[in-house]
Amino acid sequence: MPLPQPHIRHATAADVPALLDLVRDTGTLDLHTPYTYWALAHAGLLLVAERDGRLVGLLTAMRAPEGSAMLLWQVGLREGERGTGLSQRLLDAFLDEARALGVATVTLTIADDNLASQGMMQRFAARHDLELERVGDTGPAATAMALETLYRIKLTHASV
């Protein structure tokens, strides 16, 4: 019997301990402080996928100061959820939220060797007829972190 589809919802402060466990369990995401996830739940965008009371996926994003842009920061799933389409469902929920907030541009970074994330974002952009545009890299910050490619997705289409 197939498992029920996870429910996607906004995270709350009460989710922070489970979020830390989830991020650890992904084995692919950088683990941040509990305060970081608490702050994202209050002032950022933090979506979780939950099945039977257990968090199985997350998506984090932050709004840029000018308000019309958003940084898509992390998308992570427990290993058993990979390849199920859940990351696309989280991204679809993110897109709905971003558009409702009036966001015109999404930026994100992906390491050049992270083929799974590259494929995930290419599929997402293609499904929504959006362009995943390479616009640079993390540059000088790479002295403190891994160099990643910077991408932009415009959520509005130019008028013809």
CA geometry: angle at 20 spanning 16 and 25, to 5°? 145
Q: Tens of pLDDT along 64-100?
A: 887 799 999 999 999 999 999 999 999 999 999 999 9
Inter-axis angle of helices 34-43 and 16-26, to 10 degrees? Answer: 110
CA atoms within 13 A on the CB side of 13: 4
Tokens of 142: 């790479």
Nearest to 48 by CA among 105, 84, 86, 95: 86
The per-residue pLDDT of the chain, averaged, comes to 91
Give the separation between CA 149 and CA 56, rounded to whole angstroms.
Answer: 27
pLDDT at 132: 96
Instruction: Report pTM.
Output: 0.91
Cβ-Cβ contacts under 8 Å for 25 (sequence gap 6 or more): 78, 79
Q: What is the largest CA-CA distance in the chain?
A: 50
From 65-69, 90-94, 107-111, 121-125, the region with the lowest mean pLDDT? 65-69
- Which tokens go with 64? 């840029």
Query: Residue 138: what pLDDT?
Result: 86
CA-nearest of 52, 120, 55 to 85 is 120
Structural tokens at position 36: 């970081």
Q: Which residue has the higher pLDDT, 147 or 108?
A: 108
Q: Determine the pLDDT at residue 1.
A: 63
- 22 or 147: which carries more pLDDT confidence? 22
pLDDT of amino acid 124 = 97
